[in-house]
Structure 1
Amino acid sequence: MSMKSFPKPSELPVPAGAEGWEKIYPYYLVFQDALREEEDAKFWFCDSQHWPTVFKPFETIGGEFAVKCLGQYNARHLIIPNANGIEFRIHLGYLYMSPVPVPEEQIADRVPHFQERVGYYFENWPRLLDQWHSKVRGTIAEMETLTFRKPPAMVPLADIRDGVAKDGSEQLLENYDRLIQLAYQNWQYHFEFLNLGYIAYLDFFNFCKEVFPSIPDQSIASMVQGVDMELFRPDDELKQLAVLASQLGLQAAFENTDDVEGTLARIAATPHGTAWLERYEQAKEPWFNFTTGNGFYGHDQYWNENQEIPLGFIADYIRRVDLGQEIMRPVAALIEERDRIIDEYRELLEGDDLIAFDQKRGLAAQCYPYVENHNFYIEHWTMGVFWRKVRELSRLFHAEGFWAEPNDLLYLGRNEVRDALFDLVTAWGVGAPGGPIGPVYWPEEIERRKGIVEALKTARPAPALNTPPASITEPFTRMLWGITTEQVEQWLAAGDDPNAATGLRGMAASPGVVEGKARVIMDASQLSEVQDGEILVAPVTAPSWGPIFGRIAATVTDIGGMMSHAAIVCREYGLPAVTGTGSASTTIRNGQLLRVDGTKGTVEILDEPAVAGPSAHSHNHEHGHAHV
């Protein structure tokens, strides 16, 4: 291969119009000239799996809380012997990560701490997981109580008589601080069980590799599949509502689901409409606290606030039910296949190995559902409430003239919002005729920042930075992101590969071979373009794309490992998948005929583009909704 390393951060060109981009993010999130030697010595990979779009300043909160809290469980809670946390930086608007190794001489000392702590969780899993649900729901419930309202022009006389001695503005400041604290709190809870789920799976995975050296990775994954995951509940609720609507003869009411009020009124006017609407209301809480995105962006659209999205999905499911298609996930078939594979491998073992196999598989199967289920409670439900409250606060500022658009708060960092709040309450408290300074300062600054963000979006992120290590051993990097030694070598050789125009190689994430036409989707706003039987090609898929998995024939992504959401969802829907190809979304064109081999991890491009659609080149859109 011609390259031995990826570009250094300083070698990447800054897109025209994005000059000064570093200043819109906190100092600790950008590479520092004073630390260039140390930072250039580390290998960084881009996590476009979770953050495929350029960060607006306020949105860095998701990346910061997620990666910091992941790290604390490796390094401070569980004391994982060979893995500390992951350092992270934003470069040219995208998030880059560098796993922190544990020095060889410290590993042995960490083992007994790790065994004691992890052992306690595994021995008390059901009780501790129940406790986790209570903690997380409690945080969400408190978040719902927070409000952002302008204090009264005059303190009520009752407050004078009661000696309250405050003007109400303190509640605005306290509620903002509390909103940030509560989001942080649930992100800490997020990782309490996640790493344990990976650890239990990896323990089983490594044991299988030891006793069955030639076992495919997918066979190991299959032995814990077919579970009833809460992450699939939103999609399952829509399917049940569609079946009910079909049975009740409500098809005509779903002709224009973009008109939410009209659709619900048409349903209500039918003889059986009330029964269907009661079932619809039951499904909404909590399962409509669900986004078409991934919860990390302020522009993510949630079902409960944009009901045209779930209604559109229901309409498509009704169409498919009436055509006689099977819309339910093949759970029974998955369980049958799981049990067949388990029996096949159990027959090859005896004695202690058989006992160990059963114990490790049982533990992995118990812990595995959390790897996806937490996603509903944190990324979707918690962050849905969080972003709704952020928009409420942003509208308050907008009404006071601080910025031109209702959601422009997203162009401030979260600590700048605190300053803006104090500016606002100071003007109220002082009663000066000129009012706060913000309306003079922020509109121009926000327009400047918008220009920078738009300019950063014109360039796709480099997949990695600097020189990769000789081998990548950190387990989460491999399992979640699919960043393996082989994958990095493939990225490095991408420019030298004479076969790049005819095929790609990635992670064999979900078995099966299928041929079909490519549909390149760069973000959720384009999901309505997906046609039955097409092969979905995307930088990454979100778990919330479940309603289209029944339509597609296979999935191909740029990033992701065996435990990525795309891999898990495809296995649970019985679809072939190749993840971690590095460049599928920019190499493949709409309409090309593909052969996807999810068993081998290969994607063949069988012809020239039939349709040179705009999707393959467009950068992420932030508006529009997905309905099919």
Structure 2
Amino acid sequence: MTGALDQAVAGLGDPSLAIKLMGGLGDIASAAPNEAMWKLGRLVREDDELTAEFDKGIDGLEDRLRTGSSKSAAEFITRFDEFLYEFGSRSTEEWSAAPKTWETHRRIPLGMIDRMRLQDESKAPSVQADRLRREREELTKQIRSRLAGNAEALAQLEAVLRSAELYSRSREQGKTNTIRVLHEARLPIWELGLRYTKKGVLGRPEDISMLLESELDSFIENPQSFVPVIAERWEWYDALDELEPPFFIDGEIPPVTTWQKKKDPDLEPAGAGTVLHGLGACAGTATGIARIITDPEDAPDLEPGEILVAPLTDPGWTPIFTSAEAVVVNVGSPMSHAAIVSRELGIPCVLGVRGATKKIKDGAKLTVDGAAGTVTVH
């Protein structure tokens, strides 16, 4: 898609045009939670009692608000429950058998709301969306004018613009619809895990994810018989989780015994003056402090003005984008989730920076150029 758009505007002398023409499309399903979270963050920011509760920390926050007697706490909980009903299926590992969804692991969205409440009003998703839409429409008008004398080039531009718009929206909506259906199937299994945790059979609700769906009936009949099975499977799971899965397009998967450990220092940290290269996903330049986040549960570590550096992203990461000055991701493509959402929010983004989470030191000062696809370490 971006290749076709690059080709359509190739003769205009600006390699960043394709990226800019796909910004601020609107109606992107995976970006919708941002606006809802932003409003919850404003509710907290404008209320002294809610601010005081959030200032105490995320641990125990929901319990404090649900048991509190203030009207502001009750209003927040009502609106938070509405948010969970609409967007609770989202998570950061939506391909997982038992992902940490916002509905089952509410500390995660509360942490994201906590970051949003600290942001200046200029970071509001609606403000950014309006700006990006105006800029895209003006740029499109200028390009149409420049191609007015070339009917074939103009027709190609119109066709590709429409295709990019439809693809971006349908990709994110299709994923959203699928996840909602999966969530409804996962919730009863999660509830089963909760109940057997309360009975003392399981150590935590997540233990239920170590069973096959075909084993659930047998588990209910004789739960104790599956305790050693679950323990053994967790042992394998934890061992595999320490490894870095290789990315490949074609061919055979390398043997697991050859995979590197995620924490292995296989890449030298980038020194001052180093320029890392990737794929520009959203135009714009930003300078700030790098914050390495490998798990969105660590979102409260991200301070206003910092640059998010992540291994990869899924829709559950999206609200963190709003709190970041720019985004750098180890893997991704121009039409991946991170790219589409960053363009919708107007946040400079560079994808496909191999080993970024290892090469970039937490706390390093960076400049991210989303048009050029570069990350400069200062």
TM-score by structure 1 length? 0.50
Alignment partner of 2:318 out of 531, 542, 546: 546
SS in 1 for 2:125: coil
Do structure 1's residue 375 and structure 2's residue 171 form an aligned pair?
Answer: no
- Counterpart of 2:4? 206
The answer on whether the counterparts of 1:218 and 1:509 sit within 8 Å (CA) in structure 2 is no
* Conservation of the 8 A alpha-carbon contact between 1:234 and 1:290: no
Over 3 Å counting, the alpha-carbon distance change for 1:542 and 1:353 in structure 2 is same
Q: Deviations over 1:237-285 (max 9, x none)?
A: 121233345456554453345331322444x523x66655554444343
Query: Could you tell me which residue of structure 2 aligns to residue 289 of structure 1?
Result: 89
Match status 1:514 vs 2:282: no
Matches within 5 A, 1:442-453: 442-453=226-237
Which residue type is aligned with residue 231 of structure 2? E
Pick one of 328, 331, 348 that aligns with 2:125. 328
Local SS of the residue matching 1:536: strand
Q: Does 1:589 align with 2:332?
A: no
Match of 1:236 in 2: 35
| Residues 173-184 of structure 1 mapped to structure 2, 5 A cutoff | none
Say if 1:577 and 1:246 are closer, same or farther in 2 by CA, change over 3 A: closer
What is the alpha-carbon distance in structure 1 between the residues aligned to residue 17 and residue 99 of structure 2? Answer: 35
**Could you tell me how far apart the structure 1 residues matched to 2:235 and 2:103 are?**
31
Matched, 1:303 2:97: no
Distance, in Å, in 2 between the alignment partners of 1:369 and 1:265 is 40
Shift of 1:338: 0.5
- Within-5 A mapping of 1:26-105: none
For residues 355 and 124 of structure 2, the distance between their equivalents in structure 1, rounded to whole angstroms, comes to 31
Q: Unmatched 5+ residue regions in structure 1?
A: 1-200, 426-435, 469-493, 607-628
Give % identity.
23
- Name the aligned partner's letter for residue 112 of structure 2: F
Map of 1:262 onto structure 2: 64
The CA deviation at 1:561 is: 0.6
- Kindly tell me the number of residue pairs found equivalent between the two proteins: 358
The aligned counterpart of 1:224 is: 22
Aligned residues of 2:37 and 2:113 also touching (Cα < 8 A): yes
> TM-score with structure 2 length normalisation?
0.79
Q: CA RMSD in A?
A: 3.6
Deviation per CA, 1:346-386: give whole Å up to 9, x if none: 1222434424433442343244222223333323x333333
1:220 and 1:543 mapped to 2: Cα distance?
23
In the TM superposition, what whole-angstrom CA distance separates every residue of 1:144-183 from its partner, at most 9, and x where no partner exists? Answer: xxxxxxxxxxxxxxxxxxxxxxxxxxxxxxxxxxxxxxxx
CA positional deviation for 1:340: 2.2
From 418, 430, 437, the counterpart of 2:214:
418
The answer to whether the 8 Å contact 2:28/2:172 transfers is yes
Letter in structure 1 aligned against 2:37: L
Asked if the contact 1:303–1:309 (Cα under 8 Å) also holds between the matched residues in 2, the reply is yes
Q: Whose RCO is larger (CA < 8 A, sep 6+)?
A: 2
The 5-angstrom pairing of residues 344-383 of structure 1 reads 344-349=142-147, 350-379=150-179, 381-383=180-182
Please tell me the residue identity of whatever aligns with 1:220.
A
What CA distance in whole angstroms lies between the structure 2 residues aligned with 1:460 and 1:423?
32
CA contact (8 A) 1:516 1:533 kept: yes
Post-superposition CA distance 1:437-464 (Å, at most 9, x none): x634x33333232222222233323344
Unmatched segments (≥5 aa) in structure 2: 253-265
Q: Is the 8 A contact 1:391 1:406 kept in 2?
A: yes
Query: Which of the residues 542, 552, 555 maps onto 2:327?
Result: 555
Distance change in 2, residues 1:450/1:216 (3 Å): farther
CA distance in 2, matches of 1:550, 1:314: 10
Distance (Å, rounded) in 1 between the aligned partners of 2:346 and 2:279: 16
2:9–2:18 contact (8 Å) kept in structure 1: no
Does the CA-based 8 Å contact 2:9-2:17 persist in structure 1? no
Take 2:47 and 2:202, find their aligned partners in 1: how far apart are those partners?
49
TM-fit CA distance, 1:295: 1.9
Please tell me whether the aligned partners of residues 251 and 318 of structure 1 are also in contact (alpha carbons under 8 angstroms).
no
Once the 2 structures are TM-superposed, how far is the Cα of residue 393 of structure 1 from its aligned partner?
A: 3.6
For the 8 Å contact 2:30–2:341, the answer to whether it is kept is no
The residue identity in structure 1 corresponding to 2:28 is M
Amino acid at match of 2:236: I
Classify 1:260/1:422 alpha carbon distance in 2 versus 1 (closer, same or farther; 3 Å). closer
CA deviations 1:2-51 (Å, max 9, x no partner) are xxxxxxxxxxxxxxxxxxxxxxxxxxxxxxxxxxxxxxxxxxxxxxxxxx
Structure 1 residue 559: Cα displacement? 0.4
CA positional deviation for 1:536: 1.3
Amino acid at match of 1:439: Q
Give, as a single letter, the amino acid of the residue that structure 1 aligns with 2:94: G
Matches within 5 A, 1:429-578: 436=222, 439-440=224-225, 442-464=226-248, 502-578=274-350
User: CA 1:274 to 1:224, structure 2 compared with 1: closer, same or farther past 3 Å?
Assistant: same
Shift of 1:593: 2.0
Instruction: State the match for 1:600 in structure 2.
Output: 372
CA distance, structure 1, for counterparts of residue 230 and residue 273 of structure 2: 42
The whole-number CA distance in structure 2 between the counterparts of 1:337 and 1:567 is: 18
Q: Is the 8 A contact 1:241 1:276 kept in 2?
A: yes
Aligned to 2:261: none
Q: Deviations over 1:494-537 (max 9, x none)?
A: 989x9999332111111122222221112222222112222211
Counterparts in 2 of 1:541 and 1:215: CA distance versus 1, 3 Å: farther
